Amino acid sequence: IVLTQSPGTLSLSPGERATLSCRASQSVSHNYLAWYQQKAGQTPRLLVYDTSSRVTGIPDRFSGSGSGTDFTLTISRLEPEDFAVYYCQQYGRSTTTFGPGTKVDIK
Amino acid sequence: EVELVESGGGLVQPGRSLRLSCVGSGFIFEDYAMHWVRQAPGKGLEWVSGISWNSGSIGYAESVRGRVTISRDNAKNSLYLEMNSLRGEDTALYYCVKDVKSGYDVRFYYMDGWGKGTSVTVSS
């Protein structure tokens, strides 16, 4: 399964809403889709799994949604620490893939 | 707390081989599937290979299939990646990553623990 993320870069101001898209080349079974955040110089951090389940400790301004081939990560109000690159990942198969990432930067 | 420490990276000439290692601690290593994920300089994440808890299920990305071999030694809490016929496009930071499940069902899942990575540079 090939994942496509859009936009490539999202330029927003703190307090604004961010909507990140992840589209799969074929239906993702069981909606097995995760989202990771990677800040510069850091390792990726798991935010959301199973499309919409937030990892313990992740703020509720992060929410995931979608089904089939179209998935979305929404950050309701951007905080300064949210400016980073976000990757989606499909799983639940004998191989797994990541999307190319969306960079959320400060406008 | 999950800790994964990679080693074995370095500068290698095209066509040569390299073996990466990873030691895990802070969790029951033998209970989980493990992965290698790489990130080329300035690029995104690319899944390279995964192995189930008992080595019964193994998967490779198309970009490396036939050139790399993943293995593990649960007695040593260790994961390995043997890379052969290295190319410039293999230049990347290689992360050792923990799956949330064992891989018992021949499937890989999402990942909840990452090492800091070991850098591989393929250049003459």
What secondary structure, in 3-state letters, does B89-113 show? HHCEEEEEEEECCCCCCCCECCEEE
Residue-wise pLDDT tens digits, B2-57 = 999 999 999 999 999 999 999 999 999 999 999 999 999 999 999 999 999 999 99
What secondary structure, in 3-state letters, does A32-70 show? CEEEEEECCCCCCEEEEECCCEECCCCCCCEEEEEECCE
The pLDDT of residue B103: 87
Given a cut of 90, whether residue B114 has pLDDT beyond it is yes
The pLDDT of residue B105: 87
In this prediction, residue B106 has a pLDDT band, given cuts at 50, 70 and 90, of confident
Using the Cβ of B105 and the Cβ atoms of chain A, whether some distance falls under 8 Å is answered with: no
Cross-chain Cβ contact B110/A34 below 8 Å:
yes
Using the Cβ of B110 and the Cβ atoms of chain A, whether some distance falls under 8 Å is answered with: yes
The pLDDT of residue A59: 97
Shortest Cα distance, chain B CAs vs residue A46, angstroms = 6
| Cα(B29)–Cα(B47) distance, integer angstroms | 20
Residue-wise pLDDT tens digits, A29-68 = 999 999 999 999 999 999 999 999 999 999 999 999 999 9
Cross-chain Cβ contact B95/A96 below 8 Å:
no
